[in-house]
Structure formats: C-alpha cells, structure tokens
Structure 1
Amino acid sequence: MVEVWLPYGETEVCVRIPTANLLDIVEPKKMDGKNPQVEIKNALQNPVGTKRLAEIVKPEAKVTIVLKDSGVSANQMLISALMEEIGSAGVNENDVTIIFAYDPIRDSHLYQKSPMLGEELSARLRVVRHSCEADWQVSVGKTSNGIEICLNKLFVEADVKILAGPVEPHPIAGYGGGYEIVLPGVAGLDSIREVFRLGIDGKAVKGNLEGNPVHDEMVEAADLAKVDFTLNIVRDSNLEIVKAFAGNVNETFEKSVRLAEEIYRIPVENRADIVFVSPGGFYFDNSLQEATVCLDGALEIVKRGKAIALIAECASGFGDKEFFEVLSKFRNLRELRRHLEKKFTVPGLMAYRLIKVLQQVNLVVVSVMPEYYLSRILKLKIARTANEAYRLLADTFGNRGKISFIPYGNLTVPFIKT
C-alpha cells in the first residue's frame, strides 16, 4: 500500500491505495527557496520597461496601491517594500491609499471578513476594500468590444496607480494578477459581469491566455486605467515567493507568466481512471465555490466517464448565494446557459462549470459540509473521508483502476502530452 497526503483546510488527509494502482502525483515544480524580501527589493530596484517607482512618484503625489490578497505575510512584505520605495521619494504616508482588490471567484462574505495586512500596517495606513456595488465608480472608457469599464474613483483619480500581487493560474482569465487586479479588482459590478460573461467561451480556461476573451478584456481595461507601476510575485505550491517582477504592467506580466508556466504547467503521460484532487487546502478550499476551481485540471487527466474525488474542507459552506441557487435549480446546461444570458453572475458561471464537470465524470466530494445539502439538495455524491471515497470509487470502477493525485489543484495546470 502507498499513502498519499492531500491538503485539507489547514491540515492534511491521507489516502491509502495499492501501490500498483498509483499512476501519478501531479504537482507544481519545486523551486529553490530564496529570501522573499530580498527578491521584492531587487525587483523594485531593477524594474522592467519603466523607471524606478521612486523616480516616478513626486513628494506631493496622491498614490493608490491596489493589492490582490496573497495572505497576510505576503501582503505585508509587498506593502512594506512599496512604502519604503515611495517614502524614499518623499511621499507622505497620509497621501497613500491601499485598496484590496475584489475577487468574484472567492466567497464575497469571506472577502469582507478575512484579515489582510495585520494590525501594525492597518493602523498606520489608509486601507479600504473595493466594493464593486458602491456608487464611487467612474468610467474610464470602453473596450474594443464596447464594454464600458467603470473603476474605483480612488484609483482613477490617483496621481500614481500601482498594482501588486501574485500571478497564478486563474480559472477564467488563464492567469490572474497584473491586469486582473484592475478588472475585476477595482471594477464596477456591471463591468465585471459583462467581461466575465465571456467566460462561457471554451478558451476562457485556466492556464490559457491565447484567444482568451476574458483576458483580452482585462488587458484593455488595464490600458484604459493608465497603470503606472506593477509589482508581481510568483509563488510555489507552499505559497512561498519564488521570484518578484516590477515595472511596466505588460512586461512584468509577461515575465511573471513565463515563470508561472514553468512552475504550474505540468505534463502528464496517461489519463487516470480516478483522480483525487485537492484545491490546495486553506485558503483555496474555504467554500465549495472556490474549491471547484481545481476540477478543470482534474478533468484534463481523467478518462471520460470515470471519476474525480474532490477533497476540500469547505468550512465556510457553499459560497455565494447565487452559486447555491443555480446548483439547486439547474442540471440542464442549455437551460442554465439561457438563464445566464438573461441574469448573469460570476457565481452562476462557477456553478455552470461544475455542472459541466458532473455531465462528464462521476464526482465524489469529501468535505465538512452537511450531507443534507450536498446529497439531497444538490444531488452530489459524498464520502465522509478520503479513504471512504477511494473504497466507493473502487467498488464502482474496479480495484485495478489507475489513480492520479493533484494535491494543489488550484495552482496546477496539468496537460496530456501529445
């Protein structure tokens, strides 16, 4: 027997299977650890495609930093480094505003509650969380597709606009960070919905930028916003910073994605009969809505009609109300697509993608969520433990089935070698 450990909330769970059944463990590449603070400082001192931030800002400038949440520790490192660079140019801390970017993939209630910067920085600096439904959005123009882009007024009216955060696989935009920090990060709800409506397109998938209509709109939105400077980080599966890139938004994103693909894009030889996938533990599996992001990767390497076991704690439940409502009401993709055309929401799109998975494979969910909601209302198959899920699937698909594991599903972009 072989034991495979999968992240589950803030802990791990073990799956025991016969050694002969193990096909593959698919996970991001290991990278040499570096001092993250040194990496960030080096990036700021050697920006690409633009001058140093300390040369861009003026002492009297009003500066806005939009930060995509990457955990309190990484957030603190990014903001501390940026404040040091800005401060060296004589900018007063009172003239700096930090906006935490909105992410519609995450449960909106968790976004409002989760800690972001820690007490010391939060007390010193002006920190706000972007609300996509607030009335302080202003238009910066339209994209080539005619979508009006409305952004947070604090951001638009700043003298210097800075973006900061991780570049990682994104379930709809291909890769998040960079442009995504503008839209949806500081965008109005109507703009977000019009852009993410394009996410039904088959090219709007994790790890793909080419021909991805959502990514293309995000690029145009960032161009309309006139971003002055960007600080990106790329992390490994342990969420440790591997490299930082700073400078022009386009060039830093390109360099960041190149490294991200080296880490997260993983070739796989053969498809499995069963795939066990974890989003990667906390904070990727807070809710079912967030956890389902990892299923597209599992779908890439499982045989059609076979099985996926989703190992996700989901301590906060389903996610947004629209996600639950769509799942409980629809099972026909054509009907749901018509519904989304009339009443689009991003949680509804996430539900659409989950239903699409359910029509292609057998899905078993291991979580702490009540059985009543999962099995009776949503009609999902459940198991209490990962080992119970294995026994259930082995009984259904045979004891000789080949099994693959994806421990960090939200950060892994597996593909079958051709």
Structure 2
Amino acid sequence: MEVKIPYGKNEYVPVDIPEKNLIGVFDVEEKEKIEDTAGAVKKVLENPVKADSLKKLAEGRKNAVIAITDHSRPNIEKIALPIIVEMLNEAGLENDNITVMIGPGSHRPAYEEEVKDKLGSVYEKVNYVCHSAFDSEMVDLGETSFGHPVKINKQFYEADLKIALGTVLPHPFAGFSGGGKMVSVGVASDETISSTHRPVIVDNPQASFGIVEDNPFYLSSLEMAEMAEVDFLINGVMNEEEELFYVQAGKVEEAHRDIVAYVRDMFEVKVPEKADVLVVASGYPKDSNLYHVSAMGVCAVAGSAVKYPCVDKGARLIMVSPMEDGIYNHVFYDTLAKYESPEEVVNVVGAFEEFEPGHHRAYGVAQVLSDHEVVMAQSYLEKDVFEKIHMSYADTAQKAVDQALADFGEDARIAVMQYSHRMIVKYDPEVK
C-alpha cells in the first residue's frame, strides 16, 4: 500500500508499506475552518475574553509593542497584524509609535524575508525589531513562585501597551504553545528560558503534550505574563496550509484556556495498538532542521513528554524530514555528540548546574535514544551528522521501512504519523 509522507512545504514522499503490517496512517481530525479570517479576528478583538476591546484598551496609550512568533510557527500575523494596527490607529496611536517585536526565544534571529512574510502589509508601516535572548537589553522582574527568574526584553516590558500574538499547538513541556509562553520564551532571556527547560521540568509527568493542569511550565509562564503586565493576547489555531480554525483574544490566561478547551480533542490522535515501527513526519514548518525534528518528531512520539506512548521500549522510530536548514542549535548537537552513549548524556546533563538553551533538547532526545533506535531518512544532512549523535541514517524512507520489515519480521506492526508537530499522540486500545 502506498502511503504519502509529508516532506517539506506541500511535498510528499511515497512509501510502500504492506497493508497487513500497517496499523494506520494518523493525523489530526481538523475542525471546520474559518472562511472569513479577517472578520473572525476583528470580532474577537472587539469582543475579547475578560478584557476591554483592543481599541478601548489602546485609547490614551503613548506606544504599543506587539510581540509575535518567528518563522517556525504558523503565520497568523499576516492576517491579524493589519487589523490590530488599524484598531490601534483608530484609538489614536500613530504607526511611528507601534513596534512589532519578533520573539524567537533562543532560536536564530529572523531573516529579512521572514520578517516581510510575517508582517505582510504592515511591514513598511510600523517599526519592527527582533528580540535576542542573548543580546537584547533585559529587565529583571524577580522570580515566579516556581523559582524561575523573570528576565525579559526591556523594550517590551516598558511599552505602554503590551500585546502578544501567536498560535496554539501541542508543546512538549508547556502542554500547548501560545499564552504566557510569549513571555517565558519568546521575549525572554536565555537565563529565563533555560530555567523552564531544566530536567526537573522535562521529567515532570504533567509537563507533557496537551496537559496544562498542574503543569509547572504552563503555570510559571502564566505568572511571567502577569509579572510582565501583558495587556492583551491574540492566539489562533492554524494548520500547515495556514488555514484558521479558531481564534480568541483577551486576558492571557482566560483567552488561552478557552482555545485549549476548544482544540484539545482536535490535536489528540489515538492509536489502537502498540507499534514496532513508527514512520514519522514532523511536517512543515517543523521539518526544516534537526533541532525542530528532534523536538516535534522524535520527542513528539516517545519519551517523557508523551503521557501515553504508542510504542514500547525497543521500537524503532523512522523520521522522514528534509532538514535543509541543517542542525540549527549547536548546544543541542554538540552535547549529544560529546558523550559515548545516550545514557551518559541523560546522566551527565541531568546533573548540570549551568544550563543553556539546547541542553534540554539533548536531554530529551537522549532519553528517547536510550529506549529506541532513531533512523533519520531522506535528509539533506550527511550520514555522519546523525551517527555522531547516536542515530542511524537511511538514504530513502523506503529503504528505512524495508530494513525495519527485515529486522522486525513479517508480522511487524507499523504506524505512520503525519504532521507529528501538531499531535498529542495517545495509545488507546479501546479505539476501533
């Protein structure tokens, strides 16, 4: 049976898997998309949750900073920013006093073309700046009740009106992206980011995909947003085609929890039996580099962030992604490459006192590698790049599947996960 594996933007790789071996091809079941996206955004800005309308909130303010996500997230900004800027103008704010701040967390700075794509029609109208977790001037707001230091971008904090704009997807530690994560990661310092990504958080069973209840990462992020005095949140739910399914605005916690309640079941993917082999496509835009594939491919289907995994120890994970942008984060890569085994990485990094962004990813991936063989298939990266970090490589996805069938035998059970970056994978034997 031919199965199409998502590979980059709007492309697929065909793989033949015997029907008798195939558990299923899994993806989220999307809800009805919104046709009038601009109208939907305008409606929630005028009728937000537990907050005044954006226009009323902006009246009398001297300036505004709108924090947005980077290129690695769906582009709700292109839809929402023109409407937001128009409302701010109507409230009396001129474009010279409006700044869009790209909040990439510890990711690389945005390229100019990416900024143009994100800002769309407001690119030449308003100011924009890219936050750096390492170089931007920060303000120290103290600590959350969880002991996490709150050091965030000073320009954002000192803005008279602070707006956070982004999308909501399953997240390995926060449960879901969006919400307070714009402050705890997006416009935060490397010290703040590192503090919320330490093993004590990674290993917490509540700090998992799709869980916000008693989740220390999620709750600490909400505290940070409150300490930063964020005035207004706009979050939406989009797919890889950037179709909009839901949008909400208002106070950070209330608006975000409303979205989570709406989309949790959409993202949940139930698998009826345990697989010997998982063929996984993290999916665009999370398949362009090794760092993101490791997070939203490898760690999206196995490891501590997956509450009810559909694989047992010894299963093989085949990742099918181009990774044309390379390694991306060298702290992550060099940490995995430095030690003789994944088990050593877990033990050593787990005891680190000094933590940098990227150490958490090495720690999480090493946990998975301790239990599973990970095969990277059909990547632009060379074979030795993966072998240095305890992974295997196959020239094509088909070769990887054929080898798995040879190794696991004629009764091997195989599941295909499409767009794992938006899944909450859950083993559920009651599913028919």
Q: Which has the higher contact order (CA 8 A, sep 6+)?
A: 1
TM-superposed deviation, 1:114:
6.0
Tell me if structure 2 keeps the 8 A contact 1:333–1:352. Answer: no
Separation (CA, whole Å) in 1 of partners of 2:349 and 2:74: 38
* Cross-structure match for 2:305: none
Tell me if structure 2 keeps the 8 A contact 1:28–1:237. Answer: no
Matches within 5 A, 1:40-119: 40-69=41-70, 73-104=75-106, 108-109=107-108, 111-112=110-111, 115-118=114-117
Unaligned runs of 5+ in 1: none
Tell me if structure 1 keeps the 8 A contact 2:70–2:110. Answer: no
Find the residue that maps to 2:159 and give its secondary structure.
Answer: coil
Separation (CA, whole Å) in 2 of partners of 1:413 and 1:113: 33
Letter in 1 for 2:27: E
Letter in 2 for 1:3: E
* Cross-structure match for 1:399: 410
Separation (CA, whole Å) in 1 of partners of 2:136 and 2:370: 40
Tell me if structure 2 keeps the 8 A contact 1:306–1:397. Answer: no
* Cross-structure match for 1:373: 385
* Cross-structure match for 1:18: 18
Letter in 2 for 1:115: E
**Residue-pair matches, total:** 412
TM-superposed deviation, 1:113:
6.1
TM-align CA RMSD: 2.0
Matches within 5 A, 1:14-413: 14-35=14-35, 36-69=37-70, 73-104=75-106, 108-109=107-108, 111-112=110-111, 115-118=114-117, 120-197=121-198, 198-203=200-205, 204-236=207-239, 238-281=241-284, 283-293=285-295, 294-299=297-302, 300-330=309-339, 331-333=341-343, 336-339=346-349, 341-366=352-377, 367-375=379-387, 377-413=388-424
TM-superposed deviation, 1:382:
0.8
Tell me if structure 1 keeps the 8 A contact 2:165–2:234. Answer: yes
Separation (CA, whole Å) in 2 of partners of 1:170 and 1:112: 24
TM-superposed deviation, 1:310:
0.6
Separation (CA, whole Å) in 2 of partners of 1:111 and 1:245: 26
TM-superposed deviation, 1:211:
2.7
% identity of equivalent residues: 25
Separation (CA, whole Å) in 1 of partners of 2:260 and 2:54: 22
Separation (CA, whole Å) in 2 of partners of 1:272 and 1:164: 38
Separation (CA, whole Å) in 1 of partners of 2:70 and 2:41: 16
Tell me if structure 2 keeps the 8 A contact 1:371–1:382. Answer: yes
Greater shift after overlay, 54-63 or 242-251? 54-63
Separation (CA, whole Å) in 2 of partners of 1:7 and 1:53: 38
Separation (CA, whole Å) in 2 of partners of 1:379 and 1:145: 34
Separation (CA, whole Å) in 1 of partners of 2:335 and 2:345: 11
TM-superposed deviation, 1:135:
4.8
Separation (CA, whole Å) in 1 of partners of 2:60 and 2:264: 38
TM-superposed deviation, 1:30:
2.1
Letter in 2 for 1:361: H
* 1:230–1:324 Cα change, 3 Å: same
Tell me if structure 1 keeps the 8 A contact 2:279–2:320. Answer: yes
